[in-house]
Amino acid sequence: MSILISTFREPVRVLIGDNDPDIQFRDDAQLDAAARAVVNLGKVTGDPALLNGAISYTLDSATTGIIPTFTPVSDPKAWAQVVYHTARLFAVDVTPSHWRTRAFSETIGENKERVFNLLMEIYGLENGTACGASDYT
């Protein structure tokens, strides 16, 4: 039993800002390929106690799913790792768009905060939370 790679499309689209059904910059095949790469690179470790003797999460023989199966409830760490690492692959290559008229200018697509937040979420998943001011009071 495996969890389908296509299950992660929607949450990844939300994180990269590509969730408008009328205008999508990434097609489903690109998202699926990125999620497969994340699994193949060993980025999905999840909770070792939940792997039932397996070494790590891997792709099934058809490369359409991840085995052993998991859900956001059964292994939230693995779920978040697939989504965040896949989104990070796409968030860094979106450059801002600028346009200007005589009376108006606008910039859309600045991703510094989005990328920083993704990196902080990944760090928190893999290393625990960082020290904060509340640790010293």
Collapsing DSSP to helix, strand or coil, 58 comes out as strand
> Is 106 among the domain residues?
yes
Query: Whole-angstrom Cα distance, residue 16 to residue 30?
Result: 13
Query: What total number of domains does the chain contain?
Result: 1
* 58 within some domain: yes
Percentage of residues in the chain having pLDDT higher than 70: 82
pTM over 0.85: no
On whether residue 111 sits in a domain, the answer given is yes
Residue 114 has pLDDT above 90, yes or no: no
- Does residue 97 lie within any of the structural domains? yes
pLDDT digits (tens, 9 = 90+) for 94-112: 556 666 777 777 766 666 7
Local structure of 42: helix, strand or coil: coil
What confidence score (pLDDT) does residue 59 get? 95
In a domain, 133, yes or no: no
Tell me the pLDDT tens digit for each residue of 48-77.
787 777 778 999 999 999 998 899 999 999
134 in any annotated domain: no
Owning domain of residue 44: 3-128
